[in-house]
Structure 1
């Protein structure tokens, strides 16, 4: 696929339009992200073009770069709201680029594209501040869905309810007093259980992988393994998932999610 040719643009647009719903449509309760600025960085022209065409069709404003150095220059003038970054690029890789972007003050959510699916690579990216991963080869639907999710999560973080008091169903959490109530009754939690519950409540409805939970709840000086997540979720369920309606759900092979049961 050669960027900039009319026939390629038309074929890409046709393929995208048949598979993707525009950004201004009501998609699963997501806000309207029309006009949101996305910077796509990948050294493969075909991937850059396909993502650029599909995102523009969605209503996003898109800028693209083929290297880390070019991306830093583009970001300074484009001021992206979010980033889609390839990891394995010659010269400056995606990890280093993310660090440089953060140093330059660009704090928008980041979706990594990667051919690597190893847990250590995911953990490294999440530690640097990435929000999610898509493994190559990917579907456009998956990229768009994950992009919308990290944008929505960013919106909640910036404009949601005050962080000192969170509520989900009959669960209440107060940061100031470090107290949790279930159906009006005080629940005793350890500091780690409190941090884990808070992370689930801030990300209610979002499926969270073990790697992401470890990155956000545990310090990476921690030398245990990912099974600690399973153990603490089990502890948490015994304390806050005690009623007939269960809120903490396991998606085998994917992660965990705090949500009300689907009817």
Structure 2
């Protein structure tokens, strides 16, 4: 199969089951992705250091006593690369912890390959700058609030001093939805639909985890937020004032 893209997106698979690694490699290479598959955290670190990775498919239960959640935390501590968690444990607590760490999605085993592909494509598509992003960056597609600058074309957030703030795909999409409509109260279900779509099971703590991570990055005091406030029994509202 010939891809029209000069540089196919590179997927890193981290799973200790050789059958799953082989299955994912064959499938995604057949879809014109470049794939590196490893079995443990050491090999994962080497791959991330030596290659440009566009997304990570990470099993939460690895051999040798390694914890996939800890590996996800390690990845997120140094990169905003998308992380899709794969696990045979259908545990809501694991999902919540993973999302709080900063994972972008969660897929339970056994999974359909087409579903994994659809989730991956959605995340990668959201990360790509829009066509004409350079022009948009100078136009109206940039939001300013309380000294912050949210560049929707380049998908970048800068603080009052001009320093870039790394956001995951989910955090960026969530902030964009909220900041576009200051003063509007969004339910968790609406935020789920607007930022993640129907492909992922909706449960309240998913959005709560994303909001918690977002507050840690944009609020002076995350425990007493001034930009993204909770509305008891309903959801969240963005209260940042527009600035230039």
- 1:32-71 alpha-carbon deviations (Å, 9 max, x no partner): 7970111000000000000011111111111111001111
* SS of residue paired to 2:37: strand
Match of 2:67? 93
Match of 2:128? 155
TM-score of the superposition, structure 2-length normalised?
0.61
Match of 1:179? 182
Contact 1:83 1:108 in 2 (8 A): yes
Name the CA distance, whole Å, in 2 between partners of 1:81 and 1:137.
24
- The one of 181, 203, 214 equivalent to 2:208 is 214
Distance 1:64 1:232, change over 3 A: same
Mapped pair 1:72 → 2:52: no
Structure 2 unmatched runs, 5+ = 145-149, 153-175, 216-221, 224-229, 238-244
Match of 1:203? 195
Match of 2:160? none
Structure 1 unmatched runs, 5+ = 1-21, 26-31, 167-171, 181-188, 223-227, 237-263
Match of 1:58? 31
Name the CA distance, whole Å, in 1 between partners of 2:107 and 2:197.
19
* SS of residue paired to 1:113: strand
| Cα deviation, residue 175, structure 1 | 3.6
Distance 1:99 1:33, change over 3 A: farther
Contact 1:23 1:58 in 2 (8 A): no
**1:28-177 equivalent positions in 2, closer than 5 A:** 35-90=8-63, 91-103=65-77, 105-155=78-128, 161-164=141-144, 175=179
Name the CA distance, whole Å, in 1 between partners of 2:114 and 2:199.
17
Name the CA distance, whole Å, in 2 between partners of 1:122 and 1:23.
36
Q: How many residues were matched structurally?
A: 184
Contact 1:34 1:58 in 2 (8 A): no
Which one scores higher on RCO, CA 8 angstroms, separation ≥ 6?
Answer: 2
- 1:233-253 alpha-carbon deviations (Å, 9 max, x no partner): 6x99xxxxxxxxxxxxxxxxx
Name the CA distance, whole Å, in 2 between partners of 1:179 and 1:229.
14
Q: Which runs of 4+ in 1 moved over 4 A?
A: 22-25, 163-166, 194-202, 204-208, 218-222, 228-231
TM-score of the superposition, structure 1-length normalised?
0.57
- 1:63-89 alpha-carbon deviations (Å, 9 max, x no partner): 111001111111111120110000001
